Amino acid sequence: MELKVTVSSQFQCMLGNKSRPLRVEVSPEAQAPNFKPGKDAAIVYAVPTSYALVGGGDRNGQQYNHKIGLRA
């Protein structure tokens, strides 16, 4: 099984049969990752600042791993 992954801060997604822009934003107000409406019919995936990657890791060189939309 092949899993194709697109890494970007903005891309198109399908919501039902409608194409919508999806944007990933770091939000200090976000307590947990969540979806919210954006401008011009966009969908915003807001993540807390603790999820942000700056320079590929934190001050100790640790990499963050976050699974989106996967449930066991």
Looking at the chain, the whole-number percentage of residues with pLDDT higher than 70 is: 71
Asked whether residue 61 is assigned to any structural domain, the reply reads: no
pLDDT in tens, 21-52: 998 888 888 889 999 999 888 899 998 888 76
Instruction: Domain of residue 23: give its range.
Output: 10-47
**Confidence bin at 60 (pLDDT 50/70/90):** very low
More confident residue, 7 or 30: 30
More confident residue, 17 or 64: 17
Q: Which long-range contacts (CB under 8 A, 24 or more apart) does 69-72 make?
A: none
The tally of domains found in the chain comes to 1
Asked whether residue 72 is assigned to any structural domain, the reply reads: no
Asked whether residue 18 is assigned to any structural domain, the reply reads: yes
Contact 45, 37 (CB under 8 A): no
Asked whether residue 25 is assigned to any structural domain, the reply reads: yes
d(CA 63, CA 69): 20
Asked whether residue 40 is assigned to any structural domain, the reply reads: yes
